[in-house]
Structure 1
Amino acid sequence: MISRVRYRMRRPRRSRAPKAAAIAGLAALAGVIGVGGWAAHDRQAGPEHAELTSTPKITKVSLPAPPAPPALQEKIEQLAERYREPVGIAITDVSARWTAQVAGDEVFPQQSVSKLWVALAVMHAVDRGQLRLDQPVTLTKEDRSVFYQPITAKIRGPNGYATSVYELLKYQLTESDNAANDKLIAEVGGGEAVSRVMAEKGLEGLGRGETERDLQTRAAGLTWKPEYGLTWVWKAAREELPETVRDQALEAYLANPGDGAKPAAITNALAALHRGELLSPQSTEAMLDLMAQCRTGSSRLRAGLPSGWSIAHKTGTGPDWRGASVGINDVGLITAPDGRTYAVAVMLRQTRHPVGARQALMQAVARAVVDYWRTTPKGLSVPDRRVASLGSAPETAR
């Protein structure tokens, strides 16, 4: 059952300034942001019935973001330098909108981080009335994907598994289930539909919509076949490939990853999501709640946060080949005890460091945010949406 959240809207206080001063203020504001005349509203068929309204067309102006705090910027630069491999780090203050970054405008493979944008497209379709969270969906053997897909264990018999859009979202975001993700892409109209939603919302630098089975098979040097939905068949086919084929396929993927994204683009998108700029309040709340239940990556960003902090996040974990791992990531929204929230992304393109060193880097980035928060004045934040408190969860692949 999905909980409903009630929102209270405060009435704005009426200004006590004289009417003339108010008019002058509006005129000055119009000079800054631009007023494009009166909007015509066609209440009936035919232009002769159009009526003028008193609502002006206002052109939005994006003010430049303030600079990142120097101490925090210096700290993440030091962390990236010490890691001695390509690292992408971005930290965005959701309220203040500054971004500290290292290689924040470079492209890194997202792997399962891209599931966030599929979920966003699904919630967008819910807001449009094109889908319902309780809408029935049947998962069949033909819907199997690759790698981690625990929901497929529920597929028994010729009738498949009866599920819902919401359950697929839960598996996709909390367990990083590839079959659930690919089925959701089909439900919204395919990968191109996901890409259109991102473009419509002005989200650039986040890769393109693509199923996990297509992305992963291509990166391995294979072409998707339905029988690859069985893990042992997939692994056998991959093992039969010449090593040179796998080398070339992985090299091509890293040079131009279809799921490639910029760390700063990710944190800016997450910040916009948290501010309620991308979805309705109800859909925003539902998506953040599911991100807060994420069970993967318990030793990544989450492990660097002290008691009283909370996190809503999504991990990415790519394949291992020749002693290196591809697309090791963790991105999310971490919230301080006073409600201030920061969007954080740590992305590793290809790393040969042991798992412990990768986790230590991500934990150190989280601690850098905590240290920055502790040294800045409190009470500067706006009320933030609820996310689940920290808790232990097993590390899960993907």
Structure 2
Amino acid sequence: MQSVRFYCTALSLMLGSFSLNAQKAHTLTQKIENIISGKKADVGVSVIGVQKNDKVQINGEKFYPMLSTFKFPIALTTLHQVEKGKLRLDQKMLIKKEQLLEDTWSPFREKYPEGNIIITLEDALQWMMCYSDNNLTDIILRLIGGTEPVQKLIGSDFIIKNDEEGMHKDWDSQFINTITPNKAANLLEKFYQGKILNKAHTQWLYNAMLNNQTGLKRLKGKLPANVKVAHRSGTSFTNKAGMTGAVNSYGIIELPHNRKIVVAVFVHNTYESFDNAEAIIADISKAAYDHYNTK
């Protein structure tokens, strides 16, 4: 009889915990729905909280174009190949002038317009992850064997077929590389838990994402200045009708007491101003931070 009572008590506590988590998730879902309500955009969101199975999603299983957020999976694949002995972080790379395309975002080309400079693979990764350099991204992608190794490592709910040069060919080419918000969030969680790379490379990439200088008005936009966010952003063109195809950001937000949450937001086909599109991400990030920071 005593064992039956113990079982019933344990079951009751477990169900109570599930119910409380569900209520908390519902509250955050309502906050996010209020943020995106009435916005001229298709918005996908996935949030992973601090407790086990603590997740919130809106259009979480829908595919959204990645744009430059695909640089995170490329970095994962590159470091994975380093661990397999196929590449070395200190290996030298000659960056030729003809590799530095002009009609693309490239802080590296702005600093070294004549090219013909030798850097290390580690340097190239930093240009990609900290400054979102498109030219260095494509050079790295060619080095690791193209998009296939990235697809193989990351798996399903993710499609990568185009490099940066390919994405600049026409309007539709921007949207070939896609991912679901849930996949993006789960990938980030798996990454920081050390389930993809070894400890040293996990920390290296995490630090690079902490030092990301792009998309600063998105996940970090409305958070306290001292909050650390390891993030990656992505942005498409805006067409003549005023529609921006994608304004994205996903990342890991650090809370007090060594806790972390993951937030992934994809703003697709929006007629909002660019500032307003970024504010959607910032507001969702702030709502998630406030929600979990009070726990």
TM-score by length of 1: 0.65
Look up the match of 1:96: 52
Look up the match of 1:321: 239
Contact 2:40 2:270 in 1 (8 A): no
- Percent identical residues: 25
Look up the match of 1:108: 64
Does 2:294 match 1:342? no
Contact 1:304 1:362 in 2 (8 A): no
Select the residue among 114, 128, 144 that pairs with 1:156. Answer: 114
Runs of 4+ in 1 over 3 A off after TM superposition: none
- Alpha-carbon spacing, 1:366–1:309, altered in 2? closer, same or farther (3 Å): same
Quote how far apart the aligned CAs of 1:119 are: 0.5
Select the residue among 202, 205, 212 that pairs with 1:284. Answer: 202
SS for the counterpart of 1:290 is helix
Does 2:32 match 1:76? yes
Quote how far apart the aligned CAs of 1:266 are: 0.2
Look up the match of 1:258: 176
Look up the match of 2:285: 366
Look up the match of 2:162: 210
Distance 1:216 1:95 in 2: 41
Distance 2:82 2:150 in 1: 13
Structure label with greater radius of gyration: 1
Contact 2:46 2:60 in 1 (8 A): yes
Quote how far apart the aligned CAs of 1:88 are: 0.9
Does 2:136 match 1:184? no
- Alpha-carbon spacing, 1:279–1:95, altered in 2? closer, same or farther (3 Å): farther
Distance 1:150 1:375 in 2: 39
**Which ranges of structure 2 fall in alignment gaps of 5 or more residues?**
1-20
Look up the match of 1:352: 271
Quote how far apart the aligned CAs of 1:120 are: 0.6
SS for the counterpart of 2:249 is strand
Say which structure is richer in helix: 2
Distance 1:294 1:133 in 2: 19
Look up the match of 1:143: 99
Distance 1:374 1:116 in 2: 26
Contact 1:104 1:262 in 2 (8 A): yes
Contact 1:155 1:161 in 2 (8 A): no
What CA deviation, in whole Å up to 9, does each residue of 1:31-50 have, x standing for no partner? xxxxxxxxxxxxxxxxxxxx
Look up the match of 1:309: 227
Quote how far apart the aligned CAs of 1:253 are: 4.7
Correspondence 1:122-137 to 2 at 5 A: 122-137=78-93
What CA deviation, in whole Å up to 9, does each residue of 1:258-288 have, x standing for no partner? 2111111101100100111111011100110
**Which ranges of structure 1 fall in alignment gaps of 5 or more residues?**
1-65, 221-249, 377-398
Distance 1:206 1:139 in 2: 30
SS for the counterpart of 2:221 is helix
Tell me which moved more, 110-119 or 338-347: 338-347
Distance 1:312 1:136 in 2: 27
TM-score by length of 2: 0.86
Distance 2:34 2:261 in 1: 20
- Alpha-carbon spacing, 1:308–1:149, altered in 2? closer, same or farther (3 Å): closer
